[in-house]
Amino acid sequence: AEVGLLAELMSSWSGPVAIMLNPGWNPFEQPSSQKELLDSFQTVYSFLPVAMKIFVSTVEGAVFKRVVKGDPTDTPWEIFQLQGEKWMPIGRQAERPSNENLEVAFANASAAASPFKKLNPFGKK
């Protein structure tokens, strides 16, 4: 429904730029009939809180993108994990991370920080 309203608004738009705050569609499930319109937008700021069940605990983090200047496609999406009271960078990618990308990033970061890693005599040194 929101994408239909956006299409209607943009069909009569003549300005050089349109800014949309908090769009309500899932970027991974775009209606094929609206793909061209939705792909014409670029993210210049996004903060997405994340909570995932990794191994036996819930991990908190965030996906962040902030374009300061230049082409928005040159600014990567950054993945942070809350470790104690600090936000630690655990990954970055050119495209918006999918749920699978986030699961891998959080699982790898959790495994790397695990005290059990030191107990594994067969692990890499």
Global model pTM greater than 0.75: no
The per-residue pLDDT string of the chain (125 residues; one tens digit each, 9 = 90 and over) reads 577 888 888 888 888 888 877 776 666 676 677 778 877 888 888 888 999 887 788 899 999 999 999 999 999 999 999 988 999 999 999 999 999 999 999 989 888 876 665 565 565 55
Q: Which residues contact 34 (CB under 8 A, 6 or more apart)?
A: 3, 4, 7
From CA 75, how far away is CA 71, in angstroms rounded? 7
